[in-house]
Amino acid sequence: MRVGFGYDVHRLVEDRKLMLGGVEIPFEKGLLGHSDADVLLHAISDAVLGAIAEGDIGKHFPDTDSRWKGANSLVLLKYVIDLAKQKGFEVNNIDSTIVCQRPKLAGFIPQMVENIANAVHIPKVRVNVKATTTEGLGFTGTGEGISAYAVVTVREW
């Protein structure tokens, strides 16, 4: 068994869709980035790469590569899962936290869990997504951005 950790931040700006866990969330702003900037899926992807000692998503999906411009981050996550499989690992479970002041995310979490479980090819009971505010403190509290943390365990098969 191995453990991986992931963390990511994206800035909230106007005229962008807000994508979290592969779900488009209705909101007046969205996350800025080269891909769809899905901060939760990036943290999870980084955690998988961490567990299998394959660097980070910046190494695998550089900003300079036009293939990933506007990319659906579920595609990035699937790529990382395929890489893990090639190296002889499968994901055991995923836990994650989105740090977001607004909008409220609770109603969207079941769909995020479903999207992640499908991309990773594991049952939904092995995927957890939490959301928290920072009580108005810091860059997430002021709504400048959204961050996400993820921990993943993988096992050799």
Closest distance of CB 13 from Mg ion, Å: 14
Judge contact between 99 and 65, C-beta under 8 A.
Answer: no
Distance CA 93, CA 30 (A): 28
Q: Give start and end residues of each alpha helix (H) in 6-90.
A: 39-51, 57-60, 73-86
Q: For the CB of residue 100, give the shortest distance to Mg ion in the complex, in Å.
A: 15
CA count, 13 A, side-chain hemisphere, 40: 29
Told to check if 8 binds Mg ion by CB under 5 A, we report: yes
For residues 21 and 131, the answer to whether their CB atoms sit within 8 Å is: no
* 43 touching Mg ion, by CB under 5 A: no
Q: Check binding of 77 to Mg ion (CB under 5 A).
A: no
Under the binding rule (CB under 5 A), the answer on residue 42 touching Mg ion is yes
Q: Please say which residue, 63 or 156, places its beta carbon nearer to Mg ion.
A: 63
State in angstroms the smallest separation of the CB of 46 from Mg ion: 8
Q: 52 or 150, CB closer to Mg ion?
A: 150
Site residues, Mg ion (CB under 5 A): 8, 42
